Structure 1
Amino acid sequence: MKVAIVHDELVRRGGAEQVVLDMHKAYPEADIFTLCYNKDKTYEEFKKARIFTSWFQYLGKSEKLIKILYFPFAILAMRMFNLKGYDVVLISTTHCGKFVRVDKNASVITYCHTPFRLAWRPFSYAIVNSSNMIIRNIFLFASRVLRVFDSMAAKASDFYLTNSKEVKARIEDSYHPEQPVSIINPAAKLDNFYISNEVKDYHLVVSRLEDYKMVDLVVKAFNQTPEKKLVIVGTGSMEAELKALAGDNITFLKAQSAAQLAKLYANCKALIFPQHEDYGITPLEAAASGRPVIAFGKGGVTETMVPYNGDSARCTSVFFEEQTVESLSAAIEKAEMLQFSPGFIRNHANLFSASNFIAKLKTFVSRIYNLKTDTDFYMSLTEKVVYARKEVA
């Protein structure tokens, strides 16, 4: 079985890139195809893989340039890939990965982290809600155009995988796949983290400093309690604004080494996770360190965490129900009164190990690939997809 792995772009360190690394661990001989690759901006482990980039590599290898040149250049660049000779094509995508061309007889399995946000959820962008009518209409017109192309490309997938129930519903609403969408939760790098006997007097935030991450909410809460310490790890477009807002009890740190980050997790009172995420890896990293999570109780954390419900020895987190300073502060106060079990928290995190993800992925892929021995059954599943590939070729 010859496997190809496709990912949108490898120019950052994020949860989607960790999924691709685990895909490659499952199939170490697989080739990786991507829009562009910046070895200094993404995970070092990719240096061991055989990576093929598109001609977009010569235009730019940064997130900013990808956004600026996405339409039409990123789409055209991915369409130039023609993955002949592969039995299985594993696509990891939020935007352009699905535009590659494949053999009509290949099994195409797409791990969709979320449908392309610009195409399907334009109002989730602050610029759409805050701009004047002219700018907003231009933005919405571009969104409609992208939705047409994205929807056509999505038809070429035989089966969809994703990370959470929330995204599963989103894929069904956007792409209407013929086959049921299956969930395989992404793994955290559990081996990087450990339980410490020393818990220090600070709470922790590990996040990109962007508006939707809601780090300003945490800063405002800790500004009201100057006796409590907060450490924030991350960079982003709101860095200067957040630093100006923060009191003296709040420390900002830029990117940390794996060892430094593990130590920060292991010694913190708790990780604070104020945003609504489809999944969220950092709560699992905290859990792997035996530390509880104070989280906004929506989205992926409802699937990965065990919220406090009267027994602090058998929970991993305290949820707050509203993204307000009052609700967050109350959750922090509650967490400080509880006696958590680091061993229970770590054992729960082990459910989301890389080995579990790899085993589930290989089982799914093998089941799909082995369907080919039952030609009639397999064709009944995929004949519409093959026809769709001809339409968009």
Structure 2
Amino acid sequence: MKIAIVHDDLVRKGGAEQVALSFHHAFPSAPIYTLSYDAANTYPEFRSCDIRTSWFGKFIKREKNMKRFFYPLGVLAMQKLDFSEYDVILQSTTHCAKYVKAGDKTLVITYCHNPFRLVWSPDSYEKVKESGSLKRKVLNKVLAALKDIDIKAADRTDWFITNAQEVVPRIEKAYHPKKPIAVINPPVRIENFYVSNSVSDYFLVVSRFESYKKVDLVIEAFNQMPNKKLLIVGKGSREKELKEIANNNITFLSGLDASNLARLYANCKAFIFPQLEDYGITPLEANASGRPVIAFNRGGVLDTMIPYTNNSMEATAVFFDQQSVASLKEAILLFEQLQFDPAFISAHAHTFDESHFIEKIKAFVLEKYNGEAQIPQKLPKQSEKVAV
């Protein structure tokens, strides 16, 4: 079985990039194709992989420039990548990984983190939502073209996988897949985290600084609770604005290595997750450190957390129902009245370990490939073994 891994772009550190790494661990001999690769700003483990970029990636590596020239150059570059010689394409994508060419006999498996958000939910981007009438007219034409490309590319997929039940109806609405969508929750690299014997006095947020992440909501809540400490780890387009509104009980950190980040997770009172995410790796990273989560009661946390109802010793999170300062503060005050079991929380996180994800992905790919192999033109010889 000749297999290729395709990921949208490798220019940042995030949950989707962790999935691409796990694909590599599942199929270590498979090359990883991508639009652009910025080794300095994504996970260092990719440096030992066989990374092959589009022609676009030979000239443009930085995330900011990649977004600026994505349409039409990035799109055209991915459409030029031809995988006709491969038996299987395993795609990790929200946008352009699915734009590549597949052969008539190539099995295409798409791990869709979410339908292309810019195309299907353009108003979730402030720059789009706040654009003037003339700019919006131009944007609408571009987005209409991208939507057409996106739909046609997705139609080449034989099997969809996604990260959480939250995303299934979005994929069904956008792409109308012909076969059932599988849900395989993304992994947590448990070995990167540990349970501490002592807990400090701070709450923790680890996030990019973008509007939908709702970091400003947490800052506003802690501004009203000056006796409580908050550490925020991250960077992003709203960094300056967020720092300007934060009081002295709030500290910002960035550029941490894995060991220092693990230490912050292990020693926090609780991890705060205010946003609506399709999945969300960071709450599970906190759980892997034995720490409970205070989370908005929507999205991927419904798949991954055990919310407190009446027994906090068998819970991993406290949920709040509204993305408001009052609702978050109420959850924080409730949390401080409860006692959690770090061993129980950590054991729960272990069920999402990367090893389980790799087993499920390998089993899915091989099952679908062997099913396709029953078609005469793909039937292997008796003496052949499926090699990965």
Q: TM-score, normalised by structure 1?
A: 0.94
What's 1:356 paired with? 356
**Contact 2:36–2:66 under 8 Å retained in 1:** no
Q: Which amino acid aligns with 2:276?
A: H
Residue 372 (structure 1) shift:
2.6
- 1:16 aligned to 2:16? yes
What's 1:289 paired with? 289
How high is the sequence identity, in percent, across the aligned residues?
Answer: 53
- 1:210 aligned to 2:210? yes
Distance 2:234 2:68 in 1: 24
Residue 49 (structure 1) shift:
0.9
What's 1:103 paired with? 103
**Contact 2:84–2:104 under 8 Å retained in 1:** no
**Contact 1:286–1:292 under 8 Å retained in 2:** yes
Distance 2:342 2:377 in 1: 48
Distance 2:294 2:245 in 1: 22
- Is there any run of 5+ residues in structure 2 with no aligned partner, and where? 380-388
What's 1:388 paired with? none
Distance 1:259 1:269 in 2: 18
What's 1:247 paired with? 247
Note closer, same or farther for the CA distance 1:41–1:117 as it changes in structure 2 (3 Å cut).
same
5 Å-filtered alignment, 1:207-356, equals: 207-356=207-356
What's 2:137 paired with? 137
- 1:191 aligned to 2:228? no
Secondary structure at 1:277 match in 2: coil
- 1:25 aligned to 2:25? yes
> Across the two proteins, how many residue pairs are aligned to each other?
379
Distance 1:102 1:373 in 2: 17
CA offsets per residue over residues 235-258 of structure 1, 9 Å max, x none? 111111111111111100012110
What's 2:90 paired with? 90
Secondary structure at 1:37 match in 2: coil
Secondary structure at 1:352 match in 2: coil
Secondary structure at 1:240 match in 2: helix
Distance 2:122 2:372 in 1: 39
Q: Which is worse superposed, 305-314 or 73-82?
A: 73-82
What's 1:167 paired with? 167
Residue 376 (structure 1) shift:
7.5
Q: Which amino acid aligns with 1:199?
A: V
5 Å-filtered alignment, 1:363-378, equals: 363-375=363-375
Q: Which is worse superposed, 220-229 or 364-373?
A: 364-373
What's 2:122 paired with? 122
What's 1:383 paired with? none
Q: TM-score, normalised by structure 2?
A: 0.95
Q: Which amino acid aligns with 2:190?
A: L
Distance 1:303 1:346 in 2: 16
Distance 2:330 2:136 in 1: 38
Secondary structure at 1:232 match in 2: strand
**Contact 1:371–1:378 under 8 Å retained in 2:** no
Residue 103 (structure 1) shift:
1.9
Residue 28 (structure 1) shift:
0.4
What's 2:383 paired with? none
Secondary structure at 2:110 match in 1: strand
Distance 2:336 2:151 in 1: 48
Residue 130 (structure 1) shift:
2.4
What's 1:78 paired with? 78
Q: Which is worse superposed, 366-375 or 280-289?
A: 366-375
Residue 57 (structure 1) shift:
1.7
Secondary structure at 2:69 match in 1: helix
Residue 331 (structure 1) shift:
0.2
CA offsets per residue over residues 350-382 of structure 1, 9 Å max, x none? 111101100110111111011134227999xxx
Distance 1:336 1:143 in 2: 46
CA offsets per residue over residues 249-279 of structure 1, 9 Å max, x none? 1100012110000000000000000100000
What's 2:177 paired with? 177
CA offsets per residue over residues 196-235 of structure 1, 9 Å max, x none? 0110000000001111110011011111111100000001
Distance 2:377 2:348 in 1: 38
**Contact 1:122–1:140 under 8 Å retained in 2:** no
RMSD, aligned CA: 1.5
What's 2:47 paired with? 47
What's 2:385 paired with? none
Residue 132 (structure 1) shift:
2.8
Q: Which amino acid aligns with 1:197?
A: N
Distance 2:240 2:282 in 1: 23
CA offsets per residue over residues 136-161 of structure 1, 9 Å max, x none? 33222222121011101111111111
Secondary structure at 2:204 match in 1: strand
Distance 1:17 1:98 in 2: 16
CA offsets per residue over residues 88-141 of structure 1, 9 Å max, x none? 110111111111112211111011111111111112122233233333332222
Note closer, same or farther for the CA distance 1:82–1:292 as it changes in structure 2 (3 Å cut).
same
